[in-house]
Amino acid sequence: MILNTPIDMHLHLREGKMLKDVIPYSAKQFAAAVIMPNLVPPVDNRQRLESYKEEILANSENFTPLMNVFMREYTEDELLDLAEDIFAIKLYPAGITTNSEGGVKSIENVYPVLEIMQELNIPLSVHGETNGFVLDREREFAVVYEKLARDFPKLKIIMEHVGSAELLDLLDRYDNLYATVTLHHLLLTLDDLIGGALNPHNFCKPVIKTPKDRDAIQKFVKSGHKKVMFGSDSAPHPIKNKLKGAAGLFSAPVILPALAEFFDGDIETFQKFISDNARENFNLNVPEKKVEIIEEEWTAPYIVGEVKPMFAGRVFRYKVL
Ligand SMILES: NC(=O)N[C@@H](CC(=O)O)C(=O)O
Ligand SMILES: [Zn+2]
Ligand SMILES: [Zn+2]
């Protein structure tokens, strides 16, 4: 099967040696990816944006980085200057996930920024979790999404890496809400993290949840819902950091083989999820790239640089050419 212009709507590439180790997997399988800005220090100004984009371009071919910047209290001039060169601005509640210490302490603080983003047609991307009980954090954030959607009716808001089924119900209630779904929230549950021996490699934020949540997410994705887009949230951490509890799952190497098995021949829905929905929802102008997947056994890598990938060593029925 041939996929037309696959796009990963949520990707962490990091910097330096880590970027060099992980980027080939995304550049091989995707035409473009939305690049997350939670570096240390964050990508939150023009200079950092440009140098990071150059680093990505210098280490890949035929791969379009759609850059995000880290939410802070930008001025109108800064936003006017950034608008042409970014896909979206990413809002992290302070301290809620990896490298989000400098995130937003109170959403009201950035209301003036959101006002200008709405005018300039810059989408807002959100890591939506409260600091409540771990399994309730996404569900509890629903009221924040609803308030944002109502207060800024023309602002396009992306609920990132949805893991709680309730959030998906908001898509049909608010025109301006969209969602990304990861491979791990689509396929895994808490059993894969703590059901047997503790598996820190499957630990991420938001945490993978119940079979009920996973099944609802699968149903939504299989329905071809236009507002649901693939965003891997592939987030590599060195094994030694994972063993100290770092949140993030490195899925990049196995994405298309795993999704090909999931869609099991339904290429039409696969194509929408992996590309068409994103391109239509956000008028993305990404150079066309065809990616061929063949039916042939393929073994996922055991290790990539210092990182253990999702489904390490697993044999898939499909291989990316
Ligand atoms: N998903 C994660 O658990 N971690 C991500 C950050 C994020 O997307 O929240 C990371 O950068 O490691
Ligand atoms: Zn996140
Ligand atoms: Zn992420």
- Tell me, what's the pLDDT at 24? 98
Three-state SS at 316: strand
| Ligand 1 atom closest to residue 12's alpha carbon, by position in its atom list | 11
Ligand 2 centre from 66 Cα, in Å?
A: 17
Least distant ligand from the CA of 91: 2
Give CA 136 to chain center in angstroms. Answer: 20
Task: Give the model confidence (pLDDT) of 138-194 as tens digits.
Answer: 999 999 999 999 999 999 999 999 999 999 999 999 999 999 999 999 999 999 999
Task: Report the residue among 12, 127, 180 best suited for mutation to probe ligand 1: largest number of ligand atoms under 8 A from its CB.
Answer: 12
- For residue 280 the two structure tokens come to 């239509």
Least distant ligand from the CA of 232: 3
> Other CB atoms closer than 10 Å to residue 75's CB: what's the count?
11
pLDDT band per the 50, 70, 90 thresholds, residue 298: very high
Binding-site residues for substrate, in ranges, read 12-14, 38, 127, 237, 247
> 190-199 burial by CB neighbour count: b if 16+ within 10 A, else e?
bebbeeeeee
Task: Give the model confidence (pLDDT) of 85-118 as tens digits.
Answer: 999 999 999 999 999 999 999 999 999 999 999 9
Least distant ligand from the CA of 35: 3
Q: What is each CA distance from 46 to 52, 125, 165, in whole angstroms?
A: 10, 19, 37
pLDDT band per the 50, 70, 90 thresholds, residue 43: very high
Q: Is the peptide bond before 206 cis (omega within 30 degrees of 0)?
A: yes
Ligand 1 centre from 234 Cα, in Å?
A: 8
Q: Which of 313, 58, 309 is nearest to 202 (CA)?
A: 309
Respond yes or no: is residue 233 known to be catalytic: yes
The domain ranges of the chain are 2-320
Q: Which residues contact 137 (CB under 8 A, 6 or more apart)?
A: 129, 130, 131, 206
CATH number of 2-320: 3.20.20.140
Binding-site residues, in ranges, read 10, 12-14, 38, 90, 127, 161, 233, 237, 247
Question: Which amino acid makes up residue 302?
Answer: Y
> 24-59 burial by CB neighbour count: b if 16+ within 10 A, else e?
bbbbbbbbbbbbbbbbeebbbbeebbeebbebbeeb
- Tell me, what's the pLDDT at 258? 98
Q: Are the C-beta atoms of 110 and 104 separated by less than 8 Å?
A: yes
pLDDT band per the 50, 70, 90 thresholds, residue 276: very high
Q: Tell me if 247 CB under 6 Å of ligand 1.
A: yes
C-alpha 73/C-alpha 51 separation (Å) is: 21
The catalytically annotated residue of 21, 44, 213, 233 is 233
> 225-257 burial by CB neighbour count: b if 16+ within 10 A, else e?
bebbbbbbbbbbbbeebbeeebbbbbbbbbbbb
Task: Report the residue among 97, 203, 244 best suited for mutation to probe ligand 1: largest number of ligand atoms under 8 A from its CB.
Answer: 97
pLDDT band per the 50, 70, 90 thresholds, residue 50: very high
Ligand 2 centre from 1 Cα, in Å?
A: 31
Task: Give the model confidence (pLDDT) of 110-137 as tens digits.
Answer: 999 999 999 999 999 999 999 999 999 9
Where are any strands of DSSP class E within the chain? 2-4, 7-11, 32-35, 64-70, 88-91, 124-126, 157-159, 177-181, 228-230, 290-299, 315-320
pLDDT over 90 percentage in the chain: 100
